[in-house]
Structure 1
Amino acid sequence: MILGAISATPIYALMAFSVVLTLMGHIFKDQKIVAIGIALLFLATGLLLLGAYGSYQEHGPLDF
């Protein structure tokens, strides 16, 4: 699965960007920017979950 090969770093960067965008939307009282920031945050969260699932499918659970 290709999602397991994607590094989590760009997804974390997208999360950080979306939080900053949402905060800026609140500061400037622009509801469209707030909505875009929240949508990007949900998108990044979904991508992170898909990447984790893909990595789990490729490598299996951790052995402790």
Structure 2
Amino acid sequence: MTHISPLQWRKSSYSNGSGGNCVEMARLAGGETAVRDSKEPEGDMLEFSLGAWRDFVAAVRRGWAG
């Protein structure tokens, strides 16, 4: 697992700031993307390859509800 302290986490633009279901993402040194629950910043995170993250973002933009 990647050491998470130096990562620059960004909260989802869909976050309303009221403590709801929010995720944060950070770019890892190798180009991968890390995703975590913003309510549990010290908890587990998921790591996605660059290709998998691009596919996910493209699917979301197309409106995929999978």
Task: Calculate the TM-score normalised by the size of structure 2.
Answer: 0.27
> Which structure features the higher share of helix residues?
1
Greater CA radius of gyration, 1 or 2? 1
> Which structure features the higher share of strand residues?
2
Task: Calculate the TM-score normalised by the size of structure 1.
Answer: 0.28
| Structure with the larger RCO, 1 or 2 (CA within 8 Å, 6+ apart) | 1
